[in-house]
Structure formats: C-alpha cells, structure tokens
Structure 1
Amino acid sequence: MKAKVLAALAATMAVSATCAFAANPFVDVPTDSWAYKSVVELADAGVIQGVDGEYFQGQRNITRYEAAEMVAKAMAHMDKATVEQRALINKLADEYADELNNLGVRVSNLENKVGNVKFTGDARLRYLYQNGVKDNDDSWQYRIRLRGTATINDRTTATLGVTTNNQGFGDNGSAQEDEIAADIIKVDYNFGSPNWMLTLGRDTDWMLGGSNSYGYQYGDTIDLAQLKYNNGKIGVTAAYGKLKEGSGFFAGGLDDADEMVDGVKMAYGEVEGYFGNGSAAGVYYANFNGGDWFGTQTDEGMVWDRFNGDDLWGAYASVNFGSKWNVLANYEHVNLLDGRETITGDDSADVWIGKLTYGKASMAQPKSWDIWVEYIDAEDGAFLGGSTNSWRFGNYMDNMTSWGAGIDYVFAKNAMFSVMQSFATDTKDGETNNDLEKEQTRAQFQFAF
C-alpha cells in the first residue's frame, strides 16, 4: 500500500524543481534509492513526516489512516496541481473518504468545483408504511437538497444549503408544513490547522452522540456554535445550540407539540477515540434549557405538558471486525424534569441500542451493499421528542422494545436503494400501545450529485 500511495502523491507534488535541492530528512533512505526523489519531495512539501522525525521505514506497511493523512495534506496543495494531478488527488480522496471524514476533512467524490465554490446535492424518494395504518398523504415522500460551499481563504469556508423538506404526494400535498427552507447557513474556521474547527451558524444532519453513534435522540437541524478538535486519534467537541426540529411525541400523548422541541437550547460536550481500523468509541453529555409548558384541551380538561428533558449522558462503541463486520453499541441515560415522575413513576430513563452490520454500501462504488440487524430497548421517557436519526417513526421510539433489519444496495454510482423493517415490537411498560406495536416498513431511493 505504501508504494502505491507514495507514487501517486509524489506525482501530484512534482509541480516544481525546488524539492530537488532539499536535504534528505531520513537516515534510512539512501541517495541511490529508487524512492529517494519522491520521498524528499513529499517530506519537503510536508506531506510525510516519517517516524520519530528521523526514520522513513519504507518497508513498513502504513495504515489507512496514515494514508488518509497524506492525502489530506496533498489536498491542501490542490492549487499547485495540474488538472491531471487534481484528478488523481480526488481519486485518492474517494478511496479514503471515510478516514478523511474522521480526520475532519470534508470530502465528497461528487463535488463539482466552479472557481472557489463547490456544489453538491442529494435527492430522496421514500415509502413509509405502518401495518394497519393507512395514510395516503404521508406514505410517499420526496426531498431534494442543494449545497454550495465557498472557500473564502485557506482557513475559512462558508456553506449555504436549501431543502424542500419531506413533501408528500397525497391529497393534502405535504408531509411537512414548510417547503423550501435553508437548513445550512454556516461558517467553518480551522485556525490554520486541520485539527481544529470552529463552526458558527445553522447545520443539518447534526447528531447528538456524534456521527459514529446511532443518533437515537436527535439527528437534524441545529443553530450552534461548535469547537471541535480532531487529530485522527482523539476528537473533542464542545457546542452550544438550539434544536430546530421535533417529532411531536411527549408525555400525555400530545401529537401537535413540535414547537416544544424547536427552540430548546442545549450545551453539549463529547470525547471520542478513533482506532486504526476505523473503529471508534465516545462519551457525550447534553444539558437542556427551554422546556416551555404547552396546554391542550381534552375531554377531561386542560392537559399541560412540556419538553421533559433536563440532561442526558451517553456512550457508544463502533467496532470493526475484519473488513466486513461492524458492531455498534449505544447507551443513553436521560434525567427528566421535576414532576415527570408523576406521569411515569420515575425521574430518569435509559435506552440500550445494538446494531450488527455486514458489508459496506458506498455511493461511490456500484454493486456495494450491506445488511444489518438492530435491537432497541427504550424505557418510558427515554425519547425526548427530537427528530431522531433513526429510520423509524419518531413518535414510536419511546417505551418499547423492538428489532429491525435492513439492506442497502448501490445499484449505480451515486444511487442507492434501501429497505428497512421492524419486527417483534412490544410496549415495554404499562398498558399495551396498539399503535406502537404495529410494525414499520420503509423503502427508499437515494441519489447524490
């Protein structure tokens, strides 16, 4: 692997003759070595540092993360490369996209460059079904998203994204009230180092628990200030933000209380560790503020409810076995606001999630696929009503045990088909919830451009 990556990177860096006069930085690379010129050029450009700053160790196989670090540094020199060399760097970036993302380098094999602006987008068509429930308005939904990222300077980028939100084809015409909306309005600043990143503004697909967790509690749009450090081995995140989406599930059975999640403020911290085979583990904490009371008139009188979360902490481990298997375990403990125990009999709740995946579906690799099975055990009150990152209906994520299975298949480059199905779903505590126990099915097409 090392010879292949070094040869490719050396070609991309050979854009001037200055390196020919650089001193040999490594004592174990003789001047008559076939790799001497490439090694010196890459070291002088800062793409490689060697081991202990003195040895190159050319016979040692490098890890994918070490290769990704080299690719990331080569990407920083894109402005010096020719069209052919840029194409080679982009090809390497596609190969190491997952590792680069974990290193904090935002990469997309679908990005189109126009000057200093990159445009990307995606589209989704999905079918949602719950056994015994017929809803022609919401069963078929589509969503289209467009993103533009402008490079302001070598430290700063600005991103604007718009979305149609999930729109239905039924008689009422829409699954969500808003149609076109801005879901990304942010600036990223890297302090001159790829290890540090400051994000200010509105971001989407933000996950409480991090991108390697399940995202049970929240995975959607947030207005935030976030500082993140990531050196490829350790990641530390500190953020303060305001949640912008909700699913309408709360104690007391309120179904129209999205506003109680939209606007809830949150202080957030997370520490993660990354391992050479792509595995990761982390712990995180969130403190909530802003649960306004919400009143609903019922036949029994006025029912008052609110966003019930006080704070939570969680932990996850995502472990790869070989090149095909991944095991994810995720746990969260939620502390509820005072008074919640009068409804559930407890002032806290837990959720345990396990997921086993075989294979890996990559949008850049046609005919790639994966298959997975998951298990969720959520106590009453564990789900706070956020817009979950799970494929399941958000208003049936609480007080239940359930299995799920699915398959993802990339049938063409940038095009994937997925099917998910729940089974053996039961109410965990209290009386049986017939709606919750009706099994869920989802099928969807995803396209990226």
Structure 2
Amino acid sequence: MKKTLVSALTTALVVGAASTTFAAANPFSDVPADHWAYDAVSQLAADGVIEGYGDTTFRGNQNITRYEMAQMVAKAMAKSDVSAADKALIDKLAAEFSDELNNLGVRVANLERNADKVKWNGLVEYTYTSTRHDAGTTDKERKLNDNDLTFRLEPKAEVNKNWDVHARLDADTKLDSDKGGLYDGKVELKRVWAEGHYDNFNVKLGKLPNAINLLSTTDDPYSGAAVTFGNDLKVTLEAGRLDATQFIDMGRDIKGQWKDNIFKDDDDTVNFQAINIGYAKNKFYGNMGYEHMDGAMLDVDKLVKPYTNDNDSEYKANIWFANAGYRFDHNSFFKAEYAKNTKADNYDDAYSFEYDYKGAQQQNKGSWGMYLAYRKLGQYAAPWSTYGDGVDGGQKGWEVGTGYTLFKNVQLFAKYFNGKDIAADKDAEKLFGRVDVFF
C-alpha cells in the first residue's frame, strides 16, 4: 500500500513538473481556463492594478497566452502603491510566470541596449539667397533669388567601444518652383563612413567629409580613407577619389555666372591625396598642409581663363595651405587662412581674414554672434570653398554676418557680401539668410 502511494505521488510530481516545464517552454501557449491565475488577475484588474490588454479592459472570459499574462504581471510589478493583498498576488503571479518574465526582461533590455547604439540627429534648413552681378547682360544674370529647403538626417551607430558608423542623408527642394533642386528632391546618401577611435589615433573609411583645407574645398565628401595621429600636435593623411563636378566655382565666367561642368563627361573624377599638420592648445590653433589632385580632363573651352599658360586639358592641382586662429577672450576670435595652387597659372591663390564676436549656440536660447571678414578666393585655388554662403570662389570683397538662437535648436543666420567678380572686375553682391531647425 505504501509502495503504491509513493509511486502514485512520484508520478503526479513528475507529470506536474513536466507539464509546468512544457508550458514554460512555449510562452505562447494558452493559460488553461481553470488556472488560478485568472482569478488573481481578475482581482488585480478590479483593484485597478492591472490594465489588461492595453485598452483598460481585462477580458476574463477569454483564454490568454502565458506571454500576455507575463506582460500584465510585469506592468503590475512596476506599481509601487498597491495593497498588501495585491502585492501578495503579484508575487505569486511573478513566481508562476518567472520564465516568461525573465525572457521578456531580456528582450526589453536588449532592445534598450540596441536603441542606445543608434542615435539620430537631423535638421530642416531653409535658405534664401539673392545675388547681384554687374557683369551680367540679362536680368537673370544681373539678379537672381533662390528659396531652397533641405531635409537632413544624420544617424550614428555604435559598433563596439572603438568603432562607430556615420551617415548623412539629404533631400533638397526649391520652394519658388515647388520642384526638386540639384537632386530633384530625391533623398541622396551624401556621406557614409566607419570611424575607429584609439589612443592618439583615429581612422575613417568610406565616403567621408574632407575637413583639412576648407578655404579651397568644402566639407563635402570624397571616397577613401583618413588617418590622424597625435594629441595636441596632429598629423592627418587623406587619400581617395573625389567627384570634380563639385568644383562649380572653377567654372565662373566673365559675367560672374557658374557654367555647367567644366570637366569632360565620364572623365570628371580626380585622385585625391592630402596631408595636414595641426596644432591646437589653449587659445591657439594652426594648420599647414598640402593637397594633390589629378586624373580628370578639363573642357578648356568652358574656362574663363586658361588653367595653365599652356592651356593644358589634364587637371592637376598642388594646393599648399596654412591657417591659424587665436581666441583673445571668451568673446573675441580672429583667424586667417591662405592657399596657393602651384599647378595653376591664373586665379591661383586664395586668402581670408575673419574676426568673430561671440557666437550663436544651438542649445542656448538668446545667444548670438557676428563676424566681419575680407576674402579673396581665386577660383583655381578655391574650386569649391566652404565660404560660399557669402564670398564665392572667383570673388573678392567684404563679408559681414550674424547668427541668433531664437529657441533651443532653432537658429537664424544672415550674411551680406559686397565686392567684385574677379574675372570681370565688376561689382557683385549677395544677401544670404538661413533658418535651421535641429532635432
């Protein structure tokens, strides 16, 4: 009799344990209709502790899965202002659905961790420009207004403790005509690169911004690699391929207008190499370096003046540059830059002097700044300068500007250029306005 009873109890325990194990192994199996958990959650729902299916109801007449039950229990466990009786029910439910809660917790933790690895920034940018060229012969050449809108996304994803991935996506449209601009309103992948960070060493691979010589070329990208060594004193090496159709300032004509691509079709990509030695500490920074480009063919008939005295069609550039800046105090900053293209025989140098006072800070509502600059940008030394919001390549003159942070992440900018188109030696002006909304 005793043996029979022991055998029966053992069998019951094994079967019970097995059934619990099997149920836990499949979190999407229904909780049996006669399971005590239904009474427990019904009581918790009546007490306002459990909100049921997310629509503030609990459908007690319908079977639910163990996973759904665990979701309700997890929400109840997050409540702190519950009665002792309800707390006891919650603890009992937590013990019953511990496997599902653990799995749910791991899933949520992983999602949170992965979400932290990808960060999105972006902006909506409205730009107004009004240009004047006395050298123009038609109304459109003498005066041109543009209203442009840009939408930009810039994701950054962490790969591991040393590496991350960056990208930039832009879409542009012209508000005057309600049509796309240069890229017809389509989203374009402007940049994408992987970056590795190590002690006194940084490496970038992909389609990345050129940030060495902004007097001659903008921060728009090339495809290749960049490595930087050092701390206060840094050496940067860059190499890759660059789309020369970006060099629109090289094509400025005698009327002060941009021409279409001045490079031969299907032969408009250049090999690009650069080196920069930079030093920055306390209030001072300085850089000196060299850029070499070759491999593309010029359409010499489109040039306002020969690139070389021999009117060579093969494009080669050796651009030597230097820049320095000094911050006198919290409000005052002065910088100077110079570049010389020793392969060009005309329009072969560029320089800029700029004084900055204060500055508009993106996160600081009410902050503002202004600057005054004089720039001369010979178009063969500055084929696509980052200063194009005011003085363009192929122009020289005075530029004044201001910036103001209207609200946190909302900034206003205005710039005015007054000078000359270098080739025509006639007056030119530009009024520039911009609104940036960051997110």
Same fold (TM over 0.5): yes
Matched, 1:207 2:236: no
- Alignment counterpart, residue 425 of structure 2, candidates 432, 435, 441: 432
User: Which amino acid counterpart does residue 255 of structure 1 have in structure 2?
Assistant: K
Alignment of 1:61-100 (within 5 A): none
After TM superposition, give the deviation of residue 215 of structure 1 in Å.
3.3
Matched, 1:397 2:401: no
Considering fraction of residues, name the structure with more helix. Answer: 2
Provide, for residues 158-178 of structure 1, a one-character-per-residue CA deviation record: whole Å limited to 9, x for no partner.
Answer: 2232111x4212337233135
Cα pair 1:251 1:305 within 8 Å, conserved:
no
User: Which amino acid counterpart does residue 170 of structure 2 have in structure 1?
Assistant: T
User: Which amino acid counterpart does residue 241 of structure 2 have in structure 1?
Assistant: K
The CA distance in 1 between the partners of 2:170 and 2:355, in whole Å, is: 31
Cα pair distance change 1:262/1:374, threshold 3 Å: farther
**Does the residue aligned with 1:250 lie in a helix, a strand or coil?**
helix
Matched, 1:411 2:410: no
**Does the residue aligned with 2:364 lie in a helix, a strand or coil?**
coil
1:441 — aligned with what?
Answer: 431
Cα pair distance change 1:248/1:167, threshold 3 Å: same
User: Which amino acid counterpart does residue 115 of structure 1 have in structure 2?
Assistant: D
2:354 — aligned with what?
Answer: 355
Cα pair 1:125 1:445 within 8 Å, conserved:
yes
User: Which amino acid counterpart does residue 195 of structure 2 have in structure 1?
Assistant: D
Larger gyration radius, structure 1 or structure 2: 2
Cα pair distance change 1:351/1:150, threshold 3 Å: same
User: Which amino acid counterpart does residue 390 of structure 1 have in structure 2?
Assistant: Y
After TM superposition, give the deviation of residue 412 of structure 1 in Å.
0.7
% identity of equivalent residues? 15
The CA distance in 1 between the partners of 2:372 and 2:424, in whole Å, is: 27
Provide, for residues 54-89 of structure 1, a one-character-per-residue CA deviation record: whole Å limited to 9, x for no partner.
Answer: xxxxxxxxxxxxxxxxxxxxxxxxxxxxxxxxxxxx
Residue segments in structure 1 that go unaligned for 5+ positions in a row: 1-111, 299-303
Structure 1 residues 266-275 or 375-384, which shifts more? 375-384
The CA distance in 2 between the partners of 1:240 and 1:181, in whole Å, is: 23
The CA distance in 1 between the partners of 2:326 and 2:317, in whole Å, is: 30
**Does the residue aligned with 1:115 lie in a helix, a strand or coil?**
helix
- Alignment counterpart, residue 187 of structure 1, candidates 183, 191, 194: 194
Q: CA RMSD in A?
A: 3.0
Cα pair 1:137 1:169 within 8 Å, conserved:
no
Cα pair 1:122 1:448 within 8 Å, conserved:
yes
2:155 — aligned with what?
Answer: 148
The CA distance in 1 between the partners of 2:282 and 2:382, in whole Å, is: 33
The CA distance in 1 between the partners of 2:404 and 2:251, in whole Å, is: 38
User: Which amino acid counterpart does residue 432 of structure 1 have in structure 2?
Assistant: D
After TM superposition, give the deviation of residue 309 of structure 1 in Å.
4.3
The CA distance in 2 between the partners of 1:379 and 1:202, in whole Å, is: 27
Matched, 1:264 2:270: yes
Provide, for residues 388-416 of structure 1, a one-character-per-residue CA deviation record: whole Å limited to 9, x for no partner.
Answer: 2114378x422x42000000001111111
User: Which amino acid counterpart does residue 130 of structure 2 have in structure 1?
Assistant: Y
1:117 — aligned with what?
Answer: 118
Would you identify which runs of 4 or more consecutive aligned residues in structure 1 move more than 6 Å? 135-138
**Does the residue aligned with 1:114 lie in a helix, a strand or coil?**
helix
Cα pair distance change 1:439/1:274, threshold 3 Å: same
The CA distance in 2 between the partners of 1:297 and 1:414, in whole Å, is: 43
Cα pair 2:355 2:373 within 8 Å, conserved:
yes
Cα pair 1:113 1:119 within 8 Å, conserved:
no
1:319 — aligned with what?
Answer: 326
User: Which amino acid counterpart does residue 333 of structure 2 have in structure 1?
Assistant: N
- Alignment counterpart, residue 197 of structure 1, candidates 174, 189, 202: 202
Structure 1 residues 243-252 or 315-324, which shifts more? 243-252
How many residue pairs match? The answer is 306
Provide, for residues 361-389 of structure 1, a one-character-per-residue CA deviation record: whole Å limited to 9, x for no partner.
Answer: 110111111100110124463333x3x21
After TM superposition, give the deviation of residue 311 of structure 1 in Å.
0.7
**Does the residue aligned with 2:195 lie in a helix, a strand or coil?**
strand
The CA distance in 2 between the partners of 1:365 and 1:134, in whole Å, is: 40
